[in-house]
Amino acid sequence: MASGGAGGMSHQDWEPVVMVKRGARRTGESRTAATGRAMREGTATTERKFAGGTNSNHLGAGPAAHKLEEEVEDFRHASIGLDLKKAIMQARTAKGWKQKDLAHRINEKATVVNLYESGKAIPNNVIIGKMERALGVKLPRPVKPKKRPAE
């Protein structure tokens, strides 16, 4: 086995594959001797292993990458507004609850409440509705971004 190739792939066999026709060996001749003789005579065919064990056998990124680069649409998810964050925090602290307490009352994890109060959560009306019922207040809903007219 030859060493080399891609990093971490030293256990792979990177030598060319030699194909010899069946019955081409002479009596008493070993396989390696027959292969060497066939290669000297030019009767053996060889194949190189191209990108063996990798996924790099493609050329370039293709037409899909060009289409993605021309895309002008803004791909951001909706975020929690400052007014919703503050409203959740104020209502929770007015009741004397920790984030963990509110999470327990709405059957969610404490990290969900934390994400809403830090503004990193993707708004979900179901969760906001649960918070409204548990806290007993009406929370401001996030506004949906307006779609741009098609050009």
Structure tokens at 128: 């906001």
**Residue 80: pLDDT over 80:** yes
**Residue 102: pLDDT over 70:** yes
Please state, rounded to an integer, the average pLDDT across all residues of the chain.
78
pLDDT value, residue 79: 78
| Distant-in-sequence contacts of 6-9, Cβ < 8 A, 24+ apart | 6/53, 6/54, 9/53
- Confidence at 68, pLDDT banded by 50, 70, 90: low
pLDDT value, residue 45: 75
pLDDT value, residue 14: 79
- Per this entry, what is the length of the chain? 151
Cα–Cα distance measured from residue 118 to residue 6, given in angstroms and rounded to the nearest whole number: 44
**Residue 62: pLDDT over 80:** no
- Confidence at 81, pLDDT banded by 50, 70, 90: confident
